[in-house]
Structure 1
Amino acid sequence: MLFLSAIRSTSEFFSNLNLFSIPDTIQWSNFSKAWTNGNLGRFMANGIMVCLIKVPLGVLISSMCAFALTRMKLPHSNALFIFILVGMMLPVQMALIPLNIMYSRLHLNNTYLCLIFTYIGFGIPLGTLVFRGFFRSIPNELDEAAAIDGCGKYRLYANIIMPVAKPAVATMFILDFLNTWNEFLLQSVLITKDTMKTVPNGLLSFMGEFSTDYGLLSAGVLVSIIPILIIYIVFQRQFVEGMAGAVKA
């Protein structure tokens, strides 16, 4: 339906209400207009840049947090884990005004730093949950064998635990990329410059106050999901195994 809508003219949306029918006139120009006139290329480049910085950092911080909770025998580790999970219960809307005030005072509004910091903060609870579940399924004998060979905590994390946890890394990479790519509310408040907007906010420019070019909007949405499909195809083998490890624990 989305593809058929992307090649349909706006007039046909109102003359033919059957969105599953083949358009009378195929408008392939909707894709080129969305890319050039709608600045979709710029919006996608901005989103990819934010994702390529935020997602690896988020995965790194979440995995290190889960490693500390599961392999370093911290006191009250379960209480710390519950405290981290409380972050999943806090709605984003609750933090909009405090975050906006804080970033304004730090002169970080309309910068990608404010987005990256905020996305990482809200993503840590889910990442810790997934990695903790997978790390707990890794036998402790690996830690003991590594300690006998003189392996410290940093080498244990980097050379042993993380290579074994590739399914969990792939799972978090997909989920984190998807959440960051599709996030709308925070960036609509923290980013107001048109040249810095990412795809969700950029697609709003396809909608006017009194009219909307639905064909152009559908073409923009269809093109914007391509990076997500590529990420999933690359990591799909490890995705189910990583989620299974999180649920098991």
Structure 2
Amino acid sequence: MKKFLDWRHIPLIIIAALTAAPLFLLFSNALKPKDEFQVNPFGIPSRLEFQNIVDAWERGGYGEAFINSLIVGVTCIVIISLSAGFAAYALSKLQFKGSNAIMGILLFILSVPVGLFLVPLFFIWKQLNLMDSLLGLILIYSAIFLPFNIFLLRSFFVAIPNELLDSARIDGCNEFQVIYRIMLPLASPAFLTVVLLVGLWTWNEFFFANAFIQSEELKTVATKYLAFTGRFTSDWSMLSAAGVITILPITIIFVILQRRFIEGIAEGSVKG
């Protein structure tokens, strides 16, 4: 008879418990009455106070923040998917002089800490009037996240047989048709991984959003939470509710698509 619990599962259970405990505490405190938090901050709430979520949404101005984050995220997804897709196709399937040098440059960019770009970007963006604008933030995110996604897509494209592409060209397809009819359907798991990664990064990114966005009406979700902690420090139930509002949408999306996401990452690492 097969054992219900193998000893090798014990470390996984411990890691899962340590990971889930802070999230459980966050959700518990978000729905806990304000007076009860001071008495029992680590316990289960005696009643669920959903009004905390409503108050945090209104006081924090999360309606505008959600729209701003969606605008930034969707635009970056489109830009990066198109740019990384064409670049990865060229680097994996088209033989041209200097491709190895381009790969080296991209690898070097990945090794540079993003914080080093802050001061030069600040002066350049100020001259270009891109400070305190969503367009400026979108351009920064697209440039920062593009190299990794080029490598990710390239690892998928390399594994696609060149014979398929040659047969499509013989049938009269140009390079754009080859990408659309052959590469895109076969590499759809890779593009889904890119969409999820870019969505997660842009939603959670705080460093550049806090440095380049000053107007309250242009704040993203991550920066709104920082402002929330400064204004309502003593109200921990409200603070926890703001945390739930921040992480819940992206958590739901990740849970729904996690299998495809993990498969995409695994296939890309093996094929690359």
TM-score by length of 1: 0.92
Instruction: Report if the CA contact (8 A) 1:129-1:246 is conserved.
Output: no
- Select 2:113's aligned residue among 56, 76, 91: 91
CA distances 1:97-145 after superposition (whole Å, capped 9, x unpaired) = 1111111111111111110100000011110111011111111111111
Q: Is the alpha carbon distance of 1:234 and 1:56 closer, same or farther for their aligned partners in structure 2, counting shifts above 3 Å?
A: farther
Question: Does residue 1:5 correspond to 2:26, yes or no?
Answer: no
Tell me which residue corresponds to 2:208: 186
| Structure 1 stretches lacking a partner, 5+ long | none
Instruction: Report if the CA contact (8 A) 1:206-1:212 is conserved.
Output: no
Kindly report which structure 2 residues correspond to 1:140-151, keeping only aligned pairs within 5 A, or say none: 140-151=162-173
Question: Does residue 1:15 correspond to 2:39, yes or no?
Answer: yes
**One-letter amino acid matched to 1:179:** W
Question: Does residue 1:61 correspond to 2:86, yes or no?
Answer: no
| Structure 2 stretches lacking a partner, 5+ long | 1-24
Aligned residues between the structures:
247
Q: Is the alpha carbon distance of 1:235 and 1:159 closer, same or farther for their aligned partners in structure 2, counting shifts above 3 Å?
A: farther
Question: How far is 1:224 from its partner?
Answer: 2.3
Kindly report which structure 2 residues correspond to 1:17-166, keeping only aligned pairs within 5 A, or say none: 17=41, 19=42, 21-166=43-188
Alignment root-mean-square deviation, CA = 1.8
SS of alignment partner, residue 36 of structure 1: helix
- Select 2:251's aligned residue among 210, 229, 248: 229
Structure 1 window deviating more from structure 2 (183-192 vs 156-165): it is 156-165
**One-letter amino acid matched to 1:188:** N
Alpha-carbon distance in structure 2 between the residues aligned to 1:118 and 1:244:
28
Q: Is the alpha carbon distance of 1:10 and 1:171 closer, same or farther for their aligned partners in structure 2, counting shifts above 3 Å?
A: same
Alpha-carbon distance in structure 2 between the residues aligned to 1:88 and 1:14:
45
Tell me which residue corresponds to 1:214: 236
**One-letter amino acid matched to 1:4:** S
**One-letter amino acid matched to 1:148:** I
Structure 1 window deviating more from structure 2 (230-239 vs 140-149): it is 230-239
Question: How far is 1:64 from its partner?
Answer: 1.0
**One-letter amino acid matched to 1:2:** L
Instruction: Report if the CA contact (8 A) 2:232-2:238 is conserved.
Output: no
Q: Is the alpha carbon distance of 1:212 and 1:137 closer, same or farther for their aligned partners in structure 2, counting shifts above 3 Å?
A: farther
Instruction: Report if the CA contact (8 A) 2:89-2:154 is conserved.
Output: yes
**One-letter amino acid matched to 2:84:** S
Alpha-carbon distance in structure 2 between the residues aligned to 1:39 and 1:183:
18
Alpha-carbon distance in structure 1 between the residues aligned to 2:91 and 2:185:
18
Instruction: Report if the CA contact (8 A) 1:206-1:213 is conserved.
Output: no
